[in-house]
Amino acid sequence: MTDFDYQFGRNQDVPDDHDNRSDYRLTARARAVLELEAVMPEEGDEDGDGRQLTCNIRDISASGLCLSVSEPVSIGALLPVTVTLSSVGEPFRLTVEVIWCRPNDGAFLVGMHILESDETAYVEWVDAVAKAMAEQ
């Protein structure tokens, strides 16, 4: 499986008590970048990056993501995330809310709800996920 293969399914590593999404999911092996800390403009960070965490995507839906991350993420945190799908050239800038986080084989699985916002690519994300599901 390549980094951008998708298939219908339910991730077997996520227990039933964390299976709260009402949407169908696509299992995926792709990457996302979480922005854990923003840089204050006066700090003069030359490349404009705060503290970011590159993550593997376990599954996606129109309304959520399950990520595998190297460190725990605070439940309830609202974070910017950038996701790139193979079928779409531009990455999606989204805002997510961390719903749950639990240890998993030396890493952490994190369930996130994608928040609808006019300032993100939410509508484009929903459209791209719908197209990926239609191709299955």
In a domain, 105, yes or no: yes
Q: Model confidence over 14-38: pLDDT tens digits? A: 444 455 555 656 666 567 999 998 7
CATH of the domain at 105: 2.40.10.220
> What pTM was computed for the model?
0.75
The pLDDT of residue 102 is 96
In a domain, 112, yes or no: yes
3-class SS of residue 4: coil
Question: Which residue blocks in 1-106 are alpha helix, DSSP H?
Answer: none
Q: Model confidence over 62-86: pLDDT tens digits? A: 999 999 999 999 999 999 999 987 6
Question: Which residue blocks in the chain are alpha helix, DSSP H?
Answer: 122-134
Domain count, the chain: 1
List the domain range (segments joined by +) for residue 37.
Answer: 6-134
Name the region of 44 (left: φ>0; alpha: ψ -120 to 50; beta: rest): left
In a domain, 17, yes or no: yes
Residues 6+ apart with CB under 8 A from 55: 31, 32, 33, 34, 67, 68, 69, 70, 110
